[in-house]
């Protein structure tokens, strides 16, 4: 069976240490400090962990008691804290991060009714997947009610796992052909988005009109399947990007971390950081792909405008707009727009067509980023990111459910401040 990703961890370690990302089939129940890396962000526990030494150094900075500590070690520790905090921001502040983070609870909410019916009909079985497979082998009719409900729960869960593989580590996508449960890319993306949107609407009290309605996707996806459009039928070739969310997340966090070190007095020379082990493996794979697709050479300085362009492309890649917050409006939206790796590849190709963009971000101002983002998204046929942000802001103002959530958040934040003062 193909490898699935129930959760993954984003680390800050050097290339000379252990492998930077470890998939875990079961999320640990305790939030211990990390001992085999400087820090990590866990994608299903939504928790940032630091090694005991990094904890001590960051605490010293926070309370202003840094006497006796090496200043370079203090800044390096704080850069690790920043690196892992960026992973947190990526998951709560980007579209792809939000869908990825919510896909795990969405798997639960999407299957509760199906599993309840299975238990009511045949009693508790573990695992439901194994039971359903054994029943089919034994000759039980596929129309059996318990088997139908069990298969719905299993397929809902596994399709979302396929979505994670396709978006997080697309180079593993070829293995999905070996899995009998894999339908196609478009189906997996549709299920993951639909279940997440249903979970948001049902659990948060959003009005049906505020978010895209996944029920409206059924007919277009069926049409694409019947027409045997690539990516939408069983057995279709899988067109893979060379980088996925893992590469994009780690690349963005690493380069921001190093720019922080440079701004507080550290070296600006990229070769220095390469020699120190910062540019290895998953930490540099997205930047190497960026250079391959655009034709640019390595910059000399870590604060080069080319690095700023790379960081912007990472941001645009992880913030698809179709499916959420905008509805699907074209046959390619569900793959070309939603897939972060596809977005990254197409945005880099847009730079190749307009190499002047490599030097367009000089002041790193909002105006620079908005201008370049407009040029890139227009070239690719994507929505401008500011349009998506405006839609989210309007949702907060106009939707009853969103307004209620904001009031609850403000009340919770107020209680937390009072508790800290007390």
For position 334, what pLDDT does the model report?
Answer: 84
Torsional sign, CA 63, 66, 69, 72:
positive
> CA gyration radius for the chain?
23
**Residues 6 or more apart from 289 whose CB is under 8 A from it?**
242, 243, 247, 344, 345, 348
pLDDT at residue 28 is higher than 60: no
132 — pLDDT class (breaks 50, 70, 90): very high
CB 4 within 8 A of CB 20: no
Least confident of 127-141, 216-230, 338-352: 216-230
User: Measuring CA to CA, how many Å separate 123 from each of 139, 151, 223, 316?
Assistant: 20, 16, 38, 47
Going by C-alpha positions, the residue among 27, 4, 21, 23 that lies closest to residue 160 is: 4
What mean pLDDT comes out for the span 56-70? 91
304 — pLDDT class (breaks 50, 70, 90): very high
Percent of the chain with pLDDT over 90: 66
Residue-averaged pLDDT of the chain: 88
What mean pLDDT comes out for the span 112-141? 94
Angle between helices 71-93 and 52-63 (to 10 degrees): 100
280 — pLDDT class (breaks 50, 70, 90): very high
332 — pLDDT class (breaks 50, 70, 90): low
Q: What is the DSSP string of 12-76?
A: E--TTSS-S---BSS--SS-PPPSSSSEEEETTTTEEEE-HHHHHHHHHHHHT--TTS-HHHHHH
> How many whole angstroms separate alpha carbon 321 and alpha carbon 344?
14
Peptide bond into 194 cis (omega under 30): no
What mean pLDDT comes out for the span 295-317? 97
Going by C-alpha positions, the residue among 214, 215, 217, 167 that lies closest to residue 319 is: 167
Least confident of 61-75, 95-109, 117-131, 404-418: 404-418
pLDDT at residue 26 is higher than 70: no
pLDDT at residue 44 is higher than 80: no
For position 397, what pLDDT does the model report?
Answer: 79
pLDDT in tens, 181-206: 999 999 999 999 999 999 888 888 88
pLDDT in tens, 354-389: 999 999 999 999 999 999 999 999 999 999 999 999
Going by C-alpha positions, the residue among 244, 234, 303, 266 that lies closest to residue 77 is: 266
> How many whole angstroms separate alpha carbon 346 and alpha carbon 380?
7
pLDDT at residue 330 is higher than 80: no
Q: What count of other Cβ atoms lies within 10 Å of the Cβ of residue 98?
A: 18
For position 188, what pLDDT does the model report?
Answer: 94
What mean pLDDT comes out for the span 327-342? 85
pLDDT in tens, 217-250: 888 889 999 999 999 999 998 888 999 999 999 9
Going by C-alpha positions, the residue among 114, 127, 191, 125 that lies closest to residue 156 is: 191
Torsional sign, CA 52, 54, 55, 60:
positive
pLDDT at residue 73 is higher than 70: yes
400 — pLDDT class (breaks 50, 70, 90): confident
Going by C-alpha positions, the residue among 249, 168, 202 that lies closest to residue 401 is: 202
């Amino acid at each position: 069976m193909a490898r699935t990703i129930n959760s993954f961890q984003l680390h800050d370690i050097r290339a000379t240490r252990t492998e930077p990302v470890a998939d875990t089939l079961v999320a640990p129940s305790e939030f211990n400090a990390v001992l085999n890396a400087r820090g990590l962000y866990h994608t299903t526990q939504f928790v940032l962990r630091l090694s005991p030494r990094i904890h001590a150094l960051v605490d010293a900075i926070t309370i202003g008691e840094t006497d006796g500590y090496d200043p370079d070690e203090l800044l390096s520790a704080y850069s690790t804290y920043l690196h892992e905090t960026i992973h947190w921001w990526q998951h709560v502040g980007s579209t792809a991060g939000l869908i990825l983070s919510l896909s795990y609870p969405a798997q639960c909410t999407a299957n509760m009714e199906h599993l309840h019916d299975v238990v009511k009909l045949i009693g508790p079985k573990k695992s439901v997947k194994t039971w359903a497979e054994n029943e089919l082998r034994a000759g039980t009719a596929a129309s059996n009610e318990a088997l139908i409900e069990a298969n719905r729960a299993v397929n809902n869960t596994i399709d979302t796992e396929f979505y994670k593989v396709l978006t997080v580590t697309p180079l593993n996508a070829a293995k999905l052909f070996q899995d009998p449960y894999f339908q196609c890319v478009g189906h997996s993306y549709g299920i993951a988005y639909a279940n997440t949107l249903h979970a948001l609407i049902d659990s948060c009290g959003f009005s049906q009109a505020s978010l895209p309605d996944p029920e409206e996707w059924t007919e277009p996806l069926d049409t694409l399947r019947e027409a045997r459009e690539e990516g939408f039928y069983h057995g279709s070739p899988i067109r893979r990007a060379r980088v996925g969310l893992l590469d994009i997340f780690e690349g963005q966090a690493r380069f921001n971390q190093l720019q922080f070190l440079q701004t507080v007095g550290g070296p600006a020379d990229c070769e220095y950081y390469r020699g120190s082990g910062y540019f290895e493996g998953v930490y540099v794979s997205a930047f190497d792909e960026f250079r391959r697709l655009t034709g640019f050479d390595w910059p000399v300085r870590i604060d080069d405008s080319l690095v700023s362009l790379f960081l912007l492309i990472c941001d645009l890649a992880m913030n698809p707009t179709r499916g959420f917050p905008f509805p699907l409006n074209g046959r390619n939206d569900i793959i070309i727009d939603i897939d972060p790796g596809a977005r990254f590849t197409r945005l880099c190709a847009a730079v190749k067509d307009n190499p002047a963009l490599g030097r367009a971000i000089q002041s790193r101002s909002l105006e620079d980023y908005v201008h370049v983002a407009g040029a890139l998204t227009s070239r690719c046929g994507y929505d401008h990111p500011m349009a998506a942000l405006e839609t989210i802001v309007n949702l907060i103002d106009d939707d009853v459910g969103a307004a209620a959530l904001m009031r609850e958040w403000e009340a919770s934040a107020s209680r937390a401040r009072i508790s800290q003062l007390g």
